[in-house]
């Protein structure tokens, strides 16, 4: 019981920090709190679903993709879904990824008041309305009636998920925090539910100070890194997907006990090649624009670059980030491929 109560402990932010974050995150209707002993930043609405998520019944047939935000999550979801579903291209192209592989805690960012606002803005067709409901309703309880195998995405750290999470298959992906922060900045500035207002330097400062969604970043990654040798957890780096996609496809296939021919592997790599992936309407989240959650000019799948952060960091930020990264990696053997 102690472990459970610790994971569900809520710590309020001080009034000054709350007001500062409210100014920067105009899409967040309820404000932010810290959850669990490591103080992960989540929204006020998350408190409504925290216990249901922690108490979820985990099935051995479940498949989870867990990442810090903007760490190659969507790319990995499609890869994992395809491998685990015997390369079912027909279904993958006809059913959008959020339906095949739902985002567990998305509702913590989409408050009922915002959903109702959106629904009054225009006459959405039933499919769009259904998606909006999917994105806005807490999902842990409805998952109990979803037939196996269930595919679930989360940005929560392992410690806020069920203590039995590794009874299921979990693929965890980590990315250089500087690249993840740049990508998250662009998404946060365009996503209505976040509505970040400020420049990247401000965003990076909040990131390093553990004041962005799902931070502290390094604690998030290190929790999974410590479990990397567990037979039910596959730890990947985003940089590995970018550098040698075929090798990662083979590792994921082995993880799920699947064997594919060279031709099948190459065809899947082509399906997942960045240009093809970005153009695939089943995964590129253009529906978020149709719903009104994302600005029309925003690209959910942006550039997929490694090292693109250098275009955003001035000399002061580089010095700060070097020290921040070194401090957080000092007592661990975790090393990002981009930093070696």
- For the chain, the structural domain boundaries read 2-339
How far, in whole angstroms, is CA 107 from its chain's centroid?
A: 13
User: Which residues does residue 41 pair with via DSSP β-bridges, in sequence order?
Assistant: 34
Q: What is the pLDDT of residues 154-209, one digit of tens each?
A: 999 999 999 999 999 999 999 999 999 999 999 999 999 999 999 999 999 999 99
Given a cut of 80, whether residue 278 has pLDDT beyond it is no
Whether 165 contacts 223, CB under 8 Å? no
3-state secondary structure of 250: helix
Where does the pLDDT of residue 300 fall: very low under 50, low under 70, confident under 90, or very high at 90 and above? Answer: very low
Q: What is the mean pLDDT of residues 55-82?
A: 97
Q: Return the higher-pLDDT residue of 304 and 328.
A: 328
Given a cut of 80, whether residue 136 has pLDDT beyond it is yes
Given a cut of 70, whether residue 305 has pLDDT beyond it is no
Q: What is the pTM of this model?
A: 0.94
Give the per-residue pLDDT at 210: 98
- Mean pLDDT score of the chain, rounded to an integer? 92
Closest among 218, 118, 234 to 171, alpha carbons compared: 234
Q: What is the mean pLDDT of residues 26-33?
A: 96
Q: What are phi and psi of 215, to 5 degrees?
A: -80, 160
CATH number of this structure's domain 2-339: 3.40.50.300
Whether 181 contacts 92, CB under 8 Å? no
Q: Return the higher-pLDDT residue of 306 and 147.
A: 147
Give the per-residue pLDDT at 281: 72
Q: Which residues contact 211 (CB under 8 A, 6 or more apart)?
A: 17, 21, 32, 41
CA distance 35 to 160: 8
What percent of the chain shows pLDDT beyond 90? 79
CA distance 37 to 334: 22
CA distance 137 to 141: 10
Give the per-residue pLDDT at 140: 95
């Amino acid at each position: 019981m102690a472990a459970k109560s610790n994971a569900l402990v809520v710590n309020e932010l001080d009034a000054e920090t709350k007001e500062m974050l409210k100014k920067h995150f105009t899409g967040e209707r309820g404000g932010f709190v810290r959850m669990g002993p490591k103080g992960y930043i989540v929204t006020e609405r998350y408190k409504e679903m925290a216990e249901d998520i922690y108490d979820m019944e985990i099935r051995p047939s479940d498949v989870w993709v867990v990442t810090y935000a903007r760490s190659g999550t969507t790319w990995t979801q499609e890869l994992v879904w395809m491998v685990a579903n015997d390369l079912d291209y027909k279904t993958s192209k006809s059913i959008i990824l959020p339906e095949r592989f739902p985002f567990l805690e998305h509702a913590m960012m989409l408050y009922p008041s915002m959903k109702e606002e959106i629904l009054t803005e225009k006459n959405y067709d039933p499919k769009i309305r259904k998606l909006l409901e999917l994105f806005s309703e807490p999902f842990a309880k409805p998952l109990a009636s979803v037939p196996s195998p269930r595919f679930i995405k989360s940005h929560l750290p392992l410690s806020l998920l069920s203590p039995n999470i590794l009874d299921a298959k979990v693929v965890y992906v980590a990315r250089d925090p500087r690249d993840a922060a740049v990508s998250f900045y662009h998404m946060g500035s365009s996503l209505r539910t976040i509505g970040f207002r400020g420049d990247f330097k401000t965003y990076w400062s909040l990131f390093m100070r553990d004041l962005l969604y799902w931070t502290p970043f390094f604690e998030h990654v290190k929790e999974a890194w410590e479990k990397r040798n567990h037979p039910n957890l596959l730890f990947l780096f985003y940089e590995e997907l970018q550098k040698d996609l075929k090798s990662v496809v083979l590792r994921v296939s082995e993880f799920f006990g699947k064997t594919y021919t060279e031709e099948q592997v190459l065809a899947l790599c082509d399906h997942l090649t960045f240009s093809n992936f970005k153009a695939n309407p089943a995964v590129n989240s253009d529906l978020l624009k149709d719903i009104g959650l994302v600005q029309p000019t925003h690209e959910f799948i942006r550039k997929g670059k490694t090292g693109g952060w250098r275009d955003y960091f001035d000399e002061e930020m580089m010095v700060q980030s070097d020290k921040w990264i070194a401090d957080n990696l000092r007592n661990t053997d975790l090393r990002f491929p981009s930093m070696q």
